[in-house]
Structure 1
Amino acid sequence: MSSNRRLVSVLPKLSQASRMRARPFHSVISVRDLSFQSGSLESKFHDMKGKVSSLKTDPGNEVKLKMYALFKQSTEGDNSAPKPSALNFVAKAKWDAWNNLKSLSKDDAMSEYIKIVQELVSTEEPTSDSETKDSESLSGSKYETVLYEVKNGCCKITLNRPQKYNAINLKCYDEIGIALEEAAKDDNVVVAALTGSGTYYSAGNDLSGFSQLAQEHGGDMQKGAQAAGNILEKFVSSFINFLKPLIGLINGPAVGISVTTLGLFDIVLASSNATFQTPFPSLGQTPEGCSSYTFAKLMGHNKATEMLLYEKKLSAVEAYDRNLVTEVIDQSSFERVIEERLNFYASLPSNSLVYSKGLMRDRKRDKLMTVNREECDRLVERWTSEECISAIMKFMSRKQSKM
């Protein structure tokens, strides 16, 4: 796990540590061991508890072990706990560190603890200019169409166009790719999740984007279509090449590109009110997001055909039955449950997750990239075809008549 990860509660309490065998310190020493019961200690010592939990940078095993010992000496005094077995070297190291402080007064131990925490805090105190870049905050200044948040090792990317049902426009395509790239490079991120704001996950592609690209290329439909194809290929590639675990949090209806890319996620958690639809033939188009390959793998050829060719709209339960969704969660408890799941996923060793995903996915990556290219090439042809243009005009006229 990265040394830059936030100090999160990945460490069992002392009573549990005695049952652990041969585990590295970084997996068993954390803030939970550095916490304490309030009521009898000085206010400054209490204040340090909050500061420890807000540290973004792991101070290292040696410092954490010293802090643990000082905390125990400050709150309980001399070590009177049974000595652990020498084979349980984690519990033994913690016991020895505390025992070495024998005869140090509680007040002196408190002073040492406060001093260490103050030094740690001072080394990462943000300036007024950088506070908005804190990985615990929303980086709204960088993104216009998504919200980007990193908390407790999890990066949550939220499609943020609720007034448009989170339809994905050109800016959103770009920003989702940038957000995934940022999450991939951030050592504080263990897992990433994509969800939508409001009642929709995403209404799919914002059709106004194609017209915009055509105008940018002097009204040349072919050049506009090729530009759109390049944007789509790059967007889908950002999912294919994301090496960390990627979680889909489907909070409501999902359409088109927001459905087809789900085959590139590692886990998909859906609210009970979510629906899934890919209405490509009605728009004179063909599948994208590698769904022409992944859907058949997930649900079998016939079931994939029913969705991609004949536009069958799936409920959350039907999507689960077809392996498109990992689990369906009741809407009333969706937010609470996904937070619990994300906290658990992000508490696992980062490198182990990346390597395990690599073993499962690396052999497929070249195939997915080829499928992505072929799908985009076909869509470029479709977008300039009379069939597709007529279908989109028909769709837009129906949409206008309902307004």
Structure 2
Amino acid sequence: MDILVERADEGVMTIAFNRPGKKNAITAAMYQTMADALAEAQEDTRVRAILFRGTEGVFSAGNDLEDFMKSPPKDENAPVLQFLRQISSAQKPIVAAVSGVAVGIGTTLLLHCDLVYAAESATFSLPFTQLGLCPEAASSLLLPNIAGYQLAAEKLLLGEAFDAQEAHRMGIVNRLLPAADVDAFAFAQAVKLAALPASSLRVSKSLMKRAHEQAIAERMKEEVVHFSQMLLAPEAREAMMAFFQKRKPDFRQFD
């Protein structure tokens, strides 16, 4: 299974990327599994907190580009959009444990988590412009709010990788830990949340997120329109072709 979903007696549902041979690159089927798991967690009173984690040395390399090009999101029922709606509207607390690389959606999904713990050696990147695309998952709204406009612009416009220390300074990550300790620490934090009154957590999270709740939903829809159009544009085709041919793309031919 490329996504492992486990329920612990302590009240924590763990959603784990389990495709290490592909650096946990996410397919449509994986998005569907995660969306379904989040929906089930919302209805299951035994689940009181949710934990996302990857495999040793890698969180997620983002979208599986080959799968994504074969099955691009065409309507609101696309698995990736179901997943984004579920994670952005989740009422229960979400914790993430990040080791290794977190690329694209591997980073933007963290913006919807409540607590994020990362390995000191973790790296992050948002290479949307390098692929001829635009931000997704409401990251064009959330990242400037979290990190400030200039830092967000540097990451979203240039698309260059940044280290865990900078992610921590930007406010994306709560705490940095030795790589060997990240998963256990994040799980322990999730267990702490699961032991607290569910109603208190639900109301507290709702109050903190309410100001941006509608804006996030609207921004996601706006991003999807642009993203879908850009996915079919010559710049994205050049970027994808260059990726598969393992060469540097040439965007100078486009205005």
TM-score normalised by L of structure 1: 0.59
Structure 1: distance between partners of 2:157 and 2:215: 22
Q: What is the count of residue pairs matched by the alignment? A: 246
1:299 aligned to which of 138, 141, 147: 147
Matched, 1:249 2:97: yes
Contact 2:100 2:123 (8 Å CA) reproduced: yes
SS in 2 for 1:171: helix
Structure 1: distance between partners of 2:61 and 2:182: 20
SS in 2 for 1:302: helix
Provide Cα deviations, 1:125-156, integer angstroms capped at 9, x if missing partner: xxxxxxxxxxxxxxxxxxx3211111101111
Q: CA deviation at 1:226?
A: 2.3
Matched, 1:190 2:38: no
Q: CA deviation at 1:231?
A: 3.7
| Residue 228 to residue 199, structure 1, CA distance change in 2 (3 Å) | farther
Structure 1: distance between partners of 2:77 and 2:170: 29
The residue aligned with 2:251 is none
The residue aligned with 2:83 is 235
Q: CA deviation at 1:248?
A: 1.3
Provide Cα deviations, 1:314-360, integer angstroms capped at 9, x if missing partner: 11111000001111112232233223322222111111101111111
User: What one-letter code is carried by the residue in structure 1 that aligns with 2:86?
Assistant: S
1:310 aligned to which of 158, 162, 168: 158
The residue aligned with 1:8 is none
Question: Whose relative contact order is higher, 1 or 2, with alpha carbons under 8 Å and at least 6 apart?
Answer: 2
Structure 2: distance between partners of 1:296 and 1:339: 28
Structure 2: distance between partners of 1:229 and 1:300: 32
Matched, 1:146 2:38: no
Structure 2, gaps ≥5 residues long:
248-255
| Residue 229 to residue 373, structure 1, CA distance change in 2 (3 Å) | farther
2:170 aligned to which of 322, 329, 346: 322
1:155 aligned to which of 1, 4, 13: 13
User: What one-letter code is carried by the residue in structure 2 that aligns with 1:374?
Assistant: E
User: What one-letter code is carried by the residue in structure 1 that aligns with 2:7?
Assistant: V
> Equivalent residues in 2 for 1:385-400 (5 A)?
385-398=233-246
| Residue 355 to residue 228, structure 1, CA distance change in 2 (3 Å) | closer
> Equivalent residues in 2 for 1:26-41 (5 A)?
none
- Which structure: greater strand fraction? 2
1:200 aligned to which of 33, 36, 58: 58
Contact 1:158 1:196 (8 Å CA) reproduced: yes
* Higher Cα Rg, which structure: 1
Structure 2: distance between partners of 1:282 and 1:228: 25
The residue aligned with 2:67 is 209
> Equivalent residues in 2 for 1:101-112 (5 A)?
none
SS in 2 for 1:157: strand
Structure 2: distance between partners of 1:264 and 1:286: 18
Structure 2: distance between partners of 1:339 and 1:257: 22
SS in 2 for 1:189: coil
Structure 1: distance between partners of 2:141 and 2:217: 11
SS in 1 for 2:124: strand
| Residue 146 to residue 230, structure 1, CA distance change in 2 (3 Å) | closer
| Residue 278 to residue 229, structure 1, CA distance change in 2 (3 Å) | farther
Matched, 1:280 2:128: yes
Q: Percent identity?
A: 30
> Equivalent residues in 2 for 1:48-127 (5 A)?
none
| Residue 232 to residue 148, structure 1, CA distance change in 2 (3 Å) | closer
Structure 1, gaps ≥5 residues long:
1-143, 214-223
SS in 1 for 2:158: coil
Matched, 1:175 2:33: yes
The residue aligned with 2:210 is 362
Provide Cα deviations, 1:298-329, integer angstroms capped at 9, x if missing partner: 00110001101111311111100000111111
Using the TM superposition, name which of 316-325 and 261-270 deviates more: 261-270
Contact 1:193 1:249 (8 Å CA) reproduced: yes
The residue aligned with 2:253 is none
Using the TM superposition, name which of 358-367 and 335-344 deviates more: 335-344
The residue aligned with 1:376 is 224
SS in 2 for 1:345: helix
The residue aligned with 1:342 is 190
The residue aligned with 1:88 is none
Structure 2: distance between partners of 1:228 and 1:303: 31
Q: CA deviation at 1:269?
A: 0.8
| Residue 344 to residue 210, structure 1, CA distance change in 2 (3 Å) | closer
| Residue 228 to residue 364, structure 1, CA distance change in 2 (3 Å) | closer
| Residue 231 to residue 149, structure 1, CA distance change in 2 (3 Å) | closer
